Structure 1
C-alpha cells in the first residue's frame, strides 16, 4: 500500500504541475500532505515536514545568497566583457550560442556542483540568449543535460554515494565510465547543434544592432548604467575566482561562503547603505520564488521519507524483477536507474536499492562494480526530478516554469542515458 501510494503521489504531482492545475510550489506541499493524511499519518506530518525542511535549509540559504551575489556582480558589470566577447565570437548566430552554452556548462560542471554550474552558466549566457531572442527553455536544457553527464564525477553526489555504499574505489566505478561520459557529452553537443540550427532557421543570424538589449550588457538604459562599477572589475573578478576556488576546495560550507561573498560584494561595490538595500530588494524578487520552492520540496521529501513510502517504493521496484532475468541484472539496473533516480532521492536509491541489487546480482556472477556503473546511467535524466533542489535554482534563474522545462527537456535527457548505456554495453563495462 505504501509503495502504491508513493507512486500515485509522484504521478499526481507530475500531472498537476505539467497540466498547470497547480504551481510546483503548492503541489510540492499539498500533494504529500493529502496523501499523508489519507494514509493515517496526520498527527506526524508536522514533524515529518519539519525534518525535511531542516535537510534542505542549507541549500535554501545557499541559493538565496548565491542569487544575491551573482545579481550584484551582474549589476556591477563583471560579466559584461565576457558577454561582449561571446557576442563577437558567435557573430549573432543562435546555433553557436546554444553549442557554446553546452560547452560552458560542461567546463563549469567539472567542479561537481550543479548549483555552481547553473549560476555561472546563467550569469554568463542568459543575457546573450535573451538578446538574440533564443527560446527561454534552451539555456536551462543545455545546462542540466551537460551537468547530468558530469554529475558522475567521483566528487559528485551519486558516484560518491555508490562508492561508499559498496566500498568501491573510483578506479572501479568512475574510470571505466569515462568513455560513456564522453559519448554522453557528444550527444548533448549534438542536441545543442540540432536545436541551434532550428533557432538559426527561426531567428536568422542576427546583427547586434538589430537585437533588443538585455540585462548585464553594455547598451543598457541609463538607470542600470549607474550601477556599473568598471573600475572595480578586477577586484570583483578576483573575489569571484577566490569564491569559486573555495567552493571547489570546500574550505567552508557553500551557504557560509556565499553569505560572506555577498556581504563583501555589497560593501565593496555599493558602500552606501541605501544602495545596498536597493540591490537586496531588487534581487529578492528573483531569490524568493526559488527559495520557497526548495522549502516546499523539503516538505515533499520529508513526508516521503517519514511515512516510509520511499523504502516501500524501492523494495517494490526490486521485487518485480523475475528470477529468469537475473543474468541480465546489470542491464536491468541501468534501465531501471532512470525511473529509480527520478522517483527516488539519490540517497534512497544508492544506499537503499543498489545494495539489494548487488546481493542479488552476486548469485549470477555479476560484480558490485558492474552494478555500480549501471546504477549511474540514469543520472542523465535524474536532475529533472522534482526532488532535486538545484533544479529549482536553474528554473528560477532562467525565469521558466518547472513543468514546461520538464516537458521540453525530459526526452532529450533520457536520450543522454540511452547513448551512455549503448556505449557502455558495446565496450563491455556493463555486461549484457
Structure 2
C-alpha cells in the first residue's frame, strides 16, 4: 500500500503543480503529510520524517537565501553591466549568438560538476543579457540546466559518485566511456540553442520595439540608482569579493552556503550605509524568501519519501511491471525513462534504491555492470534541472525568476529528447551493451 500511495503522491504533486491547481509550497508541505496519515503513520513518526528532511536541505536553503541576497546587492551595484555590454557587443545582440554562447559558457563552467555553483555563475551573469535582447528567461534556464545535465557525468560529480559507490566501479572508469556520449549531447544542445535562438531572433525581428535596432550601448533597463562606475575603487572591491567567493566554490575550501553568508556580511557594509542596507535587503527579500519557503516545504516531501520507505517500494514496483524476458534490456528501458523517473526519485533514491535493483536483474541476464550504471547516469543527469526533488533546481528558478511549472513545461521534452539521443548513441558505439 505504501508503494501505491507513493506513486499517487508524486504523480499527484507533479500534475497539480503543472496544472496550476496548487502552489509548490502547499503541495510539498501538505500532501506528503496527508499520505502518511492515510498510510497509518503516527504524528510522531511523520515529525521525524520531516525533521530528517529539514536537516538534509538546511545547508542548501541557507545557500539559496544568502546567494540570492548577495547577487541582488551586486546587481544593484552594476557588477555585471560591463560583462553584459561586452557580450552584447560580441554577439551583436543576436539571440542566436546569445543562445550558443549560453551553451558553451555553461559547458565550461560545469566542469566542476556542482549544479548550484553553475547556476550561481551563469544565470546572474547572463540574465541581464537576455533581458536586454528581449529573450525569455525560460530559454536561459532550459539551455543552462540541460547543458549542465549533459556535462554532469564527470567523475567528481555527485551522481557519478553515487553510481560508482553502488556499482563498486571506479568513477573515472565509468566516465571515460561516456566522454563521446557527452560530446554528442553537447552537439545536441548547440543544435537546440540554434533552433530556439533563431526562433527568438525571428520574434525579435517581428517586434515593433526591436524592428529597427537594439541600442547595444544603452544603459541597463533596470533602475540604476545604486550602480557603480567600473572606474571606481568600490566597484573593483566588489569584483574582488565575488571572484574570491567563486574561487571558494571551485576549490571547495569553504562550504557553498558559508561562502555567501560571509560574502553578504562583507558586501553590505562595503556598499551601503546602515539605513540603506536594510532597504536593499528588503527589496530583495521576497525573491529570497519565496524560494526558501519552497525549499523547506520540499524537505517535507524528501523526508517522507525516504523515511516512509516509499522510494524503495516504488523502485521494486517499477521492476515488477516490466514484461517477462526484458531483463537484458532493463537498464536501457529505465535509462530511456530516466528524465521522468528523475522527477519522481531524488538522486539518492534513484541511485541507492532503484539502481541496485536494476543492477541485480540486468547482471543476472548477463549485462555488464558498467552498462547498467552508464545507462542510468545518462537518463537521470540530463533532466536533473527540471526535477522538483533536486534542491539546486529551486536556486536556478529563483535566480532566473521563473515558476517551476513553466520551466518544466518549456524544458521537459528538450531534456528528454537529448537524453534519448545520447542513450541511443551510447548503445550504437557499445558503451552500453544489451
TM over 0.5: yes
Summarize the Cα distance change of 1:336–1:140 in structure 2 as closer, same or farther, 3 Å threshold.
Answer: closer
Counterpart-to-counterpart distance in 1, 2:361 and 2:126: 46
What is aligned with 2:241?
239
Counterpart-to-counterpart distance in 1, 2:286 and 2:220: 23
Q: Cα offset for 1:229? A: 8.2
**Superposed counterparts of 1:236-385, under 5 Å:** 236-270=238-272, 272-378=273-379, 379-385=381-387
What is aligned with 2:126?
125
Tell whether the 8 Å contact from 1:91 to 1:207 is kept in structure 2 after alignment: no
Counterpart-to-counterpart distance in 2, 1:152 and 1:336: 17
Tell whether the 8 Å contact from 2:89 to 2:216 is kept in structure 1 after alignment: no
Deviations 1:269-316 (A, max 9, x none): 23x222322222222121111111110110111112222111110111
Deviations 1:316-341 (A, max 9, x none): 11223344122223323422433432
What is aligned with 1:95?
96
Counterpart-to-counterpart distance in 1, 2:334 and 2:224: 57
Q: Cα offset for 1:370? A: 1.5
Tell whether the 8 Å contact from 2:85 to 2:216 is kept in structure 1 after alignment: no
Tell whether the 8 Å contact from 1:333 to 1:371 is kept in structure 2 after alignment: no
The 3-state SS of whatever aligns with 1:208 is coil
What is aligned with 1:37?
37
Tell whether the 8 Å contact from 1:17 to 1:23 is kept in structure 2 after alignment: yes
Deviations 1:63-88 (A, max 9, x none): 11111222222222221111010111
Counterpart-to-counterpart distance in 2, 1:177 and 1:183: 10
**Superposed counterparts of 1:70-89, under 5 Å:** 70-89=71-90
Tell whether the 8 Å contact from 2:94 to 2:201 is kept in structure 1 after alignment: yes
Tell whether the 8 Å contact from 1:105 to 1:121 is kept in structure 2 after alignment: yes
Tell whether the 8 Å contact from 1:330 to 1:431 is kept in structure 2 after alignment: no
The 3-state SS of whatever aligns with 2:226 is helix
What is aligned with 2:10?
10
Between 1:359-368 and 1:295-304, the stretch displaced more is: 359-368
Deviations 1:38-97 (A, max 9, x none): 212242222211221121111000111111222222222221111010111121211211
Normalized against structure 1, the TM-score is what?
0.93
The 3-state SS of whatever aligns with 1:154 is coil
Deviations 1:378-405 (A, max 9, x none): 1211331110111111112222211111
Which of 203, 207, 213 is the equivalent residue of 1:207? 213
Tell whether the 8 Å contact from 1:76 to 1:229 is kept in structure 2 after alignment: no
Counterpart-to-counterpart distance in 2, 1:429 and 1:316: 28
Q: Cα offset for 1:210? A: 8.6
What is aligned with 1:23?
23
Tell whether the 8 Å contact from 2:368 to 2:433 is kept in structure 1 after alignment: no
Tell whether the 8 Å contact from 1:75 to 1:227 is kept in structure 2 after alignment: no
Q: Cα offset for 1:138? A: 0.8
Tell whether the 8 Å contact from 1:76 to 1:228 is kept in structure 2 after alignment: no
Counterpart-to-counterpart distance in 2, 1:222 and 1:362: 61
Q: Cα offset for 1:227? A: 9.3
Q: Cα offset for 1:99? A: 1.9
Tell whether the 8 Å contact from 2:88 to 2:129 is kept in structure 1 after alignment: yes
The 3-state SS of whatever aligns with 1:386 is coil
Between 1:218-227 and 1:86-95, the stretch displaced more is: 218-227
Between 1:112-121 and 1:404-413, the stretch displaced more is: 112-121
The 3-state SS of whatever aligns with 1:223 is coil
What is aligned with 2:396?
394
Deviations 1:163-212 (A, max 9, x none): 1122211332111001111111111111111011111111127623399x
Tell whether the 8 Å contact from 2:230 to 2:236 is kept in structure 1 after alignment: no
Counterpart-to-counterpart distance in 1, 2:193 and 2:249: 28
Q: Which runs of 5+ in 2 are unaligned?
A: none
The 3-state SS of whatever aligns with 1:428 is coil
Deviations 1:409-429 (A, max 9, x none): 100000110111121011100
What is aligned with 1:429?
431
Q: Cα offset for 1:347? A: 0.9
Q: Cα offset for 1:236? A: 2.3
Matched, 1:68 2:69: yes
Tell whether the 8 Å contact from 1:60 to 1:291 is kept in structure 2 after alignment: yes
State the aligned residue count: 427
Q: Which runs of 5+ in 1 are unaligned?
A: none
Summarize the Cα distance change of 1:400–1:274 in structure 2 as closer, same or farther, 3 Å threshold.
Answer: same
Tell whether the 8 Å contact from 1:267 to 1:276 is kept in structure 2 after alignment: yes
Summarize the Cα distance change of 1:339–1:62 in structure 2 as closer, same or farther, 3 Å threshold.
Answer: same
Normalized against structure 2, the TM-score is what?
0.93
Matched, 1:59 2:65: no
The 3-state SS of whatever aligns with 2:383 is helix
